[in-house]
Each structure stands twice: as structure tokens, then as C-alpha cells.
Amino acid sequence: MILEQVALPGDIIKVKLQGSLDIAGSQDIDLPLNMIAGNAKRVIVDFAAVTFLASIGIRLMVKIARALSNKGGKLIIYSPNFDAKKVLRSTGIEAIIPVVHDETTALAECAK
């Protein structure tokens, strides 16, 4: 799993994930995501290049979302492919983490 981050205006961190968000992928990005959550309040995560999503990957996203929420921040996932979107919906994660179609919508969600 490859993680790239970019600071955006408005103190938003954009995280782009690429690869399989399985056990190995989750281990690869756990520490970097926790560091991002420790230093940011609003994080948008680009899921367009996530090729596989396992329950451990969902668990990691929920953990990061809760860490951000505890300090008044939020995590938004955007652009999941069809399979990832299906998995996210089946878990009911949208009650905890907004899942939107594109970066523009993710940025607008940050402003809420």
C-alpha cells in the first residue's frame, strides 16, 4: 500500500492510497495515518486506486475517523471504486465516515 499526502488550503490533508488495503496494506499505512490524524483536523482520503478493501482496512479508517472526531475533526473518503464502495456500504461505515464521489464534494463536506 502506497500513501501520499498533500496539504491543501484550509488546513486539510489529502491522502491518496494506492494498492490493497488488506492486512499488509493496513500495517503499511497505520503509523503514517496515525501521525496525520495527530497533526491534522480534517483529512480527505482518495480511494480511487484502492484495489482491494478488507475488514482490517475498514477498521483502520474507523480508528482514524474516531481519533479525528475526538478533537473536533473529520475524515472523508472519496472516489472509491465499485467494489470498495460496495464493501463500505455493506458495513454501514457511512454512519461514521462520509463516503462521497469526488474531491470537490469531499472538500465541501469538510466545511460542514
Domains and CATH numbers, the chain: 2-110 (3.30.750.24)
C-alpha to C-alpha distance for 10 and 74, rounded to whole angstroms:
13
C-alpha to C-alpha distance for 23 and 13, rounded to whole angstroms:
24
pLDDT tens for each residue of 9-54: 988 999 999 999 999 999 999 999 999 999 999 999 999 999 999 9
Distance, CA of 106 to chain centre: 11
DSSP structure class, residue 20: E
pTM of the model: 0.93
Helix count and strand count (H, E) for the chain: 4, 5
